[in-house]
Amino acid sequence: MTSAIQLSCNTFRCEIAPALGGSIAGLWLGDIPVLRSTAAGLLTTVRQAGSYPLVPFSNRMGHATLKWAGTSHPLVRTTADEPHAIHGVGWLRPWTVLEADPQFALLAYEHKPDDTWPFAFDTSQAFRLRANELELTLSITNQSAVATPVGLGWHPCFVKRPHSHIAFEASGRWEMNADKLPTHRVAVQGLDADCAALDVDHCFDGWAGAASLRDAQLSTRVTSSLQRLVVFTHAGSDCITMEPVSHVNNAINLMGAGSASADALGVRVLQPGESMSAEMSIHVEKSE
* Average pLDDT, integer, range 96-104: 98
CB 121 within 8 A of CB 149: no
Q: Does residue 94 have a cis bond before it (omega within 30 degrees)?
A: no
pLDDT attached to residue 260: 80
pLDDT attached to residue 257: 78
* Average pLDDT, integer, range 27-51: 95
The 5-9 sheet, strands edge to edge: 5-9, 12-17, 23-29, 32-33
**176-185, 223-232, 260-269: range with highest mean pLDDT:** 223-232
pLDDT attached to residue 2: 66
pLDDT attached to residue 165: 98
CB 139 within 8 A of CB 110: no
Which burial class, exposed, middle or buried, applies to 179 when counting CB atoms under 10 A from its CB (0-12, 13-18, 19+)?
A: middle
Q: pLDDT tens-digit profile of 106-148?
A: 999 999 999 999 999 999 999 999 999 999 999 999 999 999 9
Q: pLDDT tens-digit profile of 63-78?
A: 999 999 889 999 999 8
d(CA 58, CA 227): 13
pLDDT at 163 over 60: yes
CB 249 within 8 A of CB 62: no
pLDDT attached to residue 82: 84
**Interacting residues of 211 by C-beta distance below 8 A, sequence separation 6+:** 166, 167, 168, 221, 222, 223, 229, 242
pLDDT at 263 over 70: yes
pLDDT attached to residue 143: 98
Which burial class, exposed, middle or buried, applies to 139 when counting CB atoms under 10 A from its CB (0-12, 13-18, 19+)?
A: middle
* This prediction's pTM: 0.96
pLDDT attached to residue 277: 98
Q: Give the pLDDT band (50/70/90) at residue 90.
A: very high
pLDDT at 151 over 70: yes
How large a percentage of the chain has pLDDT more than 70?
99
Which burial class, exposed, middle or buried, applies to 104 when counting CB atoms under 10 A from its CB (0-12, 13-18, 19+)?
A: middle
Domain 5-42+49-286 has CATH 3.60.20.10: no
Beta-strand runs (E) in 84-217: 85-86, 96-101, 104-111, 121-130, 133-142, 148-150, 153-154, 157-159, 165-168, 172-176, 182-187, 191-194, 200-205, 210-214
DSSP state of 41: G
Largest CA distance in the chain: 56
pLDDT attached to residue 261: 87
d(CA 102, CA 187): 44
